[in-house]
Chains A and B, each alone.
Chain A
């Protein structure tokens, strides 16, 4: 009898842990409720649901797959650029800096000159850290060196995501990138696994032809 009960305890335990992660993933998705009012669920869809069942170890463990493709990847950047200050507090538009997002498949990282447009003479930073970072920026700029930003949204090869098309179809930035305006340090909030993309594509009646995303471009 003892043995049987032990088995039950273990089973219940495992189920509970799984359920915890299950719900937590949903919880995470809803973590940032209402900024700005885009009125969509942010980066959830079926995130993690299928993945829980996925036996594909290569996608799950860092030993086999890159950590950079996991949700919650939050690398340290060379300059502590804060979207909170720029977007939330100063109400800048995403496209002001990421100007190519509606012109190209790629949403460009802003040129240093764009930064220098404000920071060159006008804005020196309020906090100590901020001042330091702006100095760093100026250093890079004066040396003519690009800032080696660390890629947050590392996508696997042979996936061609087109920002322009998604933008023009009315997909808000937050839907995939999460509440960037509230992030002092940018973090990957969506798994950006295929099932996640597909659930949205299905929901909105977008094409689920493989070549839509796995064409070369």
Chain B
């Protein structure tokens, strides 16, 4: 905490006070302007496109998607993995970095966590969209039923059900618990009747008494401790959807760490993509500082390295295994029919992030924004490569085949962004999207008798 404070001081501005945190953050909740409504309606418009595409697909038949017989999974599963991946960094930032006491997480963690929850909500749609009979998707849930049947616990897809539902529950709970004191702060400042009621109910009557804080802190630590393994496990389980199969290009033990690193990679990029406009729109420059961007850039650099290493390892393993199918698959990816997505992925995920070795670029907001979008595209392509390329060239050459991209898939993909964006947009206007309490925690408390080196701070009074 100390060194963070020092970094603040280095900015040659007055240190942040408790009151300023509240003021800045709660200012975000003020009645929205046209821009916000425009954003919201754009998102809803996209969502309507997506929803109508889905209904069209259900009405007409699953054939409206692009899948074919060798390629049973396509855009939807790519989207699923993509969104689960996006979700990951949220948990990483909120839980893992909390445990590591990495204080740079504080200003961005709420945003990251909201992103997690909404991304999981988005990701969770895709398995349902992608099944042939979505109205029976609930058969994957082990509930007592008149058929006396249970699901197959040996299937990675059932693990997915467990992993994703647990992940959603835990991250949503974690998110909500973290929100409680901040909502209480919002409640205490709320003016309109609606907001009073909204915050009054959602803060559950939080007061911030010493016992409450005591249990809260203990519980929060436990939540962080519980969510931390999820960071590793959820995407590992998702990766097992592939790794547990025998498809060349999927059947690899490297998948869990590879997927987790990729998820964090894409998630951090997504946090940057969201944080930059938010920071600009709500003038959060004093809360989300270049220091944070620098730290996230380093995280990107690290995970990009891990991801690149995984790519190389995949190729090495395929060569080393002397398995003709694996070898063919990894020859096919760079030099086959779909070379473009492969090289696109390589550029976006391995080459472009290397620019972050340059210090000035790490804090160059415009550059980071562009790079984060490039990385997101790259990570989508990575999943495309894994899913499409592997399925299109499996064991039996006679059964090799292609994919038929359809506008329905594009519609649903766009709709997913609309769905995610809609929740994000609503969230930033109704709930504090920067963690008030947690930022305050890293600020030095106002002390009359400065025990440490914070004499200056204690002199600054609020009001």
Residues in B with CB closer than 8 Å to A195 are 145-148
Q: Is the beta-carbon distance between A58 and B135 smaller than 8 angstroms?
A: yes
Q: Is the beta-carbon distance between A194 and B149 smaller than 8 angstroms?
A: yes
Residues in B with CB closer than 8 Å to A56 are 138, 145-146
Q: How far, in whole Å, are A59 and B147 apart by their CA atoms in the complex?
A: 11
Residues in B with CB closer than 8 Å to A46 are 148
Q: Is the beta-carbon distance between A53 and B143 smaller than 8 angstroms?
A: yes
Q: Is the beta-carbon distance between B135 and A51 smaller than 8 angstroms?
A: no
Q: Is the beta-carbon distance between B145 and A55 smaller than 8 angstroms?
A: yes
Q: Is the beta-carbon distance between A54 and B148 smaller than 8 angstroms?
A: no
Q: Is the beta-carbon distance between A198 and B148 smaller than 8 angstroms?
A: yes
Q: Is the beta-carbon distance between B143 and A191 smaller than 8 angstroms?
A: no
- Smallest Cβ distance from B405 to chain A, in angstroms? 31
Interface assignment of B144: CB less than 8 Å from any CB of chain A: yes
Q: Is the beta-carbon distance between A50 and B148 smaller than 8 angstroms?
A: yes
Residues in B with CB closer than 8 Å to A191 are 146
Q: How far, in whole Å, are A58 and B136 apart by their CA atoms in the complex?
A: 9
Q: How far, in whole Å, are A125 and B59 apart by their CA atoms in the complex?
A: 52
Interface assignment of A100: CB less than 8 Å from any CB of chain B: no
Q: Which residue of A lies closest to B143 (CB)?
A: A55
Residues in A with CB closer than 8 Å to B148 are 46, 50, 194-195, 198-199
Residues in A with CB closer than 8 Å to B135 are 58
Q: Chain A, 9-21, contact with B by CB distance < 8 Å: what is the 0/1 string?
A: 0000000000000
Interface assignment of A193: CB less than 8 Å from any CB of chain B: yes
Q: Is the beta-carbon distance between B147 and A194 smaller than 8 angstroms?
A: yes
Q: How far, in whole Å, are A105 and B100 apart by their CA atoms in the complex?
A: 69
Give the interface centre of B144, B146, B147, B148 by most chain A CB atoms within 10 Å: B146
Q: How far, in whole Å, are A196 and B147 apart by their CA atoms in the complex?
A: 8
In A158-217, the 8 Å CB interface with B consists of 191, 193-196, 198-199
Q: Which residue of A lies closest to B141 (CB)?
A: A55
Residues in A with CB closer than 8 Å to B146 are 50-51, 54, 56, 59, 191, 193-196
Residues in B with CB closer than 8 Å to A59 are 146
> Interface extent on A, as a size class?
10 to 19
Q: How far, in whole Å, are A50 and B144 apart by their CA atoms in the complex?
A: 6
Q: Chain B, 130-157, contact with A by CB distance < 8 Å: what is the 0/1 string?
A: 0000011010010111111100000000
Instruction: Say what secondary structure dominates the interface of chain B.
Output: loop
In A41-86, the 8 Å CB interface with B consists of 46, 50-51, 53-56, 58-59
Residues in A with CB closer than 8 Å to B147 are 50, 193-195, 198
Q: How far, in whole Å, are A196 and B146 apart by their CA atoms in the complex?
A: 8
Q: How far, in whole Å, are A196 and B144 apart by their CA atoms in the complex?
A: 13
Residues in B with CB closer than 8 Å to A58 are 135-136
Q: How far, in whole Å, are A199 and B148 apart by their CA atoms in the complex?
A: 9
Residues in A with CB closer than 8 Å to B143 are 53-55
Q: Which residue of B lies closest to A199 (CB)?
A: B148
In B87-146, the 8 Å CB interface with A consists of 135-136, 138, 141, 143-146
Residues in B with CB closer than 8 Å to A51 are 145-146
Q: How far, in whole Å, are A58 and B135 apart by their CA atoms in the complex?
A: 8
Q: Chain B, 376-414, contact with A by CB distance < 8 Å: what is the 0/1 string?
A: 000000000000000000000000000000000000000
Residues in B with CB closer than 8 Å to A50 are 144-148
Q: How far, in whole Å, are A191 and B141 apart by their CA atoms in the complex?
A: 23
- Smallest Cβ distance from A55 to chain B, in angstroms? 6
Q: How far, in whole Å, are A55 and B147 apart by their CA atoms in the complex?
A: 12
- Smallest Cβ distance from A145 to chain B, in angstroms? 38
- Smallest Cβ distance from B278 to chain A, in angstroms? 39
Residues in B with CB closer than 8 Å to A53 are 143-145
Q: How far, in whole Å, are A53 and B142 apart by their CA atoms in the complex?
A: 12
- Smallest Cβ distance from A94 to chain B, in angstroms? 28
- Smallest Cβ distance from A106 to chain B, in angstroms? 24
Q: Which residue of B lies closest to A210 (CB)?
A: B149
Q: Is the beta-carbon distance between B149 and A54 smaller than 8 angstroms?
A: no
- Smallest Cβ distance from A18 to chain B, in angstroms? 14
Q: Which residue of A lies closest to B149 (CB)?
A: A194
Residues in B with CB closer than 8 Å to A55 are 138, 141, 143, 145
Can you list 23 pairs linking A and B with CB atoms under 8 Å apart? A46-B148, A50-B146, A50-B147, A50-B148, A51-B145, A51-B146, A53-B145, A54-B144, A55-B138, A55-B143, A55-B145, A56-B146, A58-B136, A59-B146, A191-B146, A193-B146, A193-B147, A194-B147, A194-B149, A195-B145, A196-B146, A198-B148, A199-B148
Interface residues of chain B, those whose CB is within 8 Å of chain A, are: 135-136, 138, 141, 143-149
Q: Using A194-B149, A195-B145 as known contacts, list a sample of 14 further A-B pairs with CB atoms less than 8 Å apart, ordered by residue number in A.
A: A46-B148, A50-B147, A50-B148, A53-B143, A53-B144, A54-B145, A55-B143, A56-B145, A191-B146, A193-B146, A194-B146, A194-B147, A195-B148, A199-B148
